[in-house]
């Protein structure tokens, strides 16, 4: 293997490692944002149900509620 090819391969490997690290950081940030958003959505769903006299007991793209009393 020529020295030039070896240098290019080393640079390519280093670039891939850097991009992988950046991608992993982005994925971790996105996961954190999704967890935060999900928690906020769940709290909002519970508040809406309680405001209307219900207790949120489950959901699946649809809210399932029952009267508080």
Number of Cβ atoms within 10 Å of the Cβ of 46? 16
Condensed to tens digits (0 to 9), the pLDDT of residues 30-48 reads 887 777 778 888 888 899 9
Distance of alpha carbon 65 from alpha carbon 17, whole angstroms: 49
Q: Give the pLDDT confidence score for residue 1 in this predicted structure.
A: 61
Of 37 and 19, the one with more pLDDT? 19
The model's pTM:
0.43
Of 57 and 33, the one with more pLDDT? 57
Instruction: Confirm if 58 and 64 have CB atoms less than 8 A apart.
Output: yes
Instruction: Confirm if 14 and 30 have CB atoms less than 8 A apart.
Output: no
């Amino acid at each position: 293997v020529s020295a030039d090819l070896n240098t290019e391969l080393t640079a390519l490997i280093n670039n891939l490692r850097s991009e992988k690290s950046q991608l992993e950081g982005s994925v971790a940030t996105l996961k954190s944002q999704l967890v935060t958003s999900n928690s906020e959505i769940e709290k909002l769903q519970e508040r809406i149900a309680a405001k209307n006299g219900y207790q949120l007991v489950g959901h699946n793209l649809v809210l399932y509620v029952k009267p508080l009393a």
